[in-house]
Amino acid sequence: MTIEVRLLMNEELTHANDFFNKIYKLHRAYEHFKWEFLDCPAGSAIYVAAIDTSIKTKMKIVGIQCAIPLLMITSEGQQILTAKSEDTLVDPEYRGQDIFNKMYNLLFEECKKAGIKYIWGFTPAYKPFIKLGFKLNFKSAQLLYVNKPIAAYHYLSSLNPKNKLIDKVKILGLSFLSKLNSFKSMPFSKLFDEINYKLENFELEIVSKTLFKENTNQLFLYEDREYFNWRIFKNIHNNNYKNLVFRTPDNKCVADVIINTRGTVGYIEQIIFTEILSEKSKKAIIKQCLNVLTNLGVPIIRFLGFEANSINQSEVKLLIDIGFYKVTRGNWFVWKSLDNNFNHEPENIVLNRLFTQGIM
């Protein structure tokens, strides 16, 4: 048996998608694959594979790994090319042959050639990443706001078909507890008269122009029009995004929130306060976002929370204060520098759900 690890050519990428579907027993269409890995705003993904070359009758892929180029931007306006690690998969029959490490080592080299300074991602299995030099300091948490506990229970229990009776009982209890928690938000049901919101079409390049000017040494996702076109408008996961922009009577933007519905679930994707606001004003703004989602009929609203820095910590605290229930289960955020001249720490990244492709 001979295993070759190399870059895949464009005409071979259908084999990678077929391998993904075979191992996970899914039906990811090649159109989905193309959107996620080839149509990216900062360039096509770097895609490597492990191939069993002892099989002469067909191309036998036994492992895949890729990196999606994505731009980040610093508080000072410097753009940095990074890459999100995705599609990490080794055929169970070929494990124990160091394929995982060999694929990543090639991926690191190819990323360096492409000018990528950092590689990062989300994973529940963190130990192999530590061995490869990734930093692992924090994990995500799910924050839940429940409008209809029974419908929320059916949704949450459906996420894992292997749930046992005791698991389902815990989920039912969680659904009702989250509903009770949501009553905290009642005093903030009326938005202050001096701030009003309207729907906008993602026209603001918020991160590059107005976000967090008072903060230093922070990294943000670079949300230009090319990024929004890929991540928002052409998203293939049946997400329905809305951009709620909050302005004062003199048309000054003080907050921008991206919300989303997919199926029967609502999401708060990203929260940006562009001015110094009181906690009460922030709560009133988020409550208005909840009202919009609730009026769309969703039984449960989710938020992907992180607590690695003061900005993300304040988001989590704000949502808990107005009635979200925190579930600590989540994926680890892993981060590795590929250039000794760049030393940004993962704790300085202002994370949100837009860092995912819309299904996490």
The Cα–Cα gap between 90 and 264 comes to: 33
Q: Tell me, what's the pLDDT at 166?
A: 76
Q: Tell me, what's the pLDDT at 215?
A: 54
CATH tag, 141-355: 3.40.630.30
The Cα–Cα gap between 199 and 259 comes to: 11
The DSSP line for 214-267 is T--S-EEE---HHHHIIIIIT-SS--EEEEEEEE-TT--EEEEEEEEEETTEEE
Q: Tell me, what's the pLDDT at 71?
A: 96
34 half-sphere exposure, CB direction, 13 A CA radius: 7
Ranges for all domains in the chain classified under CATH 3.40.630.30: 3-116, 141-355
What is this structure's pTM?
0.89
pLDDT in tens, the chain (360 residues): 799 999 999 999 999 999 999 999 999 999 999 999 999 999 999 999 999 999 888 999 999 999 999 999 987 888 999 999 999 999 999 999 999 999 999 999 999 999 999 999 999 888 899 999 999 878 899 999 988 878 777 777 776 777 777 767 777 777 777 777 766 655 544 445 567 777 776 655 444 444 544 556 788 899 888 998 999 999 999 899 999 988 888 888 888 899 999 989 999 999 988 777 888 889 989 998 999 999 999 999 999 999 888 889 999 999 999 889 888 778 899 999 999 999 899 999 999 999 998 776
Q: Who contacts 319 (Cβ-Cβ below 8 Å, separation ≥6)?
A: 143, 145, 268, 286, 303, 305
Q: Tell me, what's the pLDDT at 68?
A: 98
Q: Tell me, what's the pLDDT at 330?
A: 82
CATH 3.40.50.2300 fits 3-116, yes or no: no
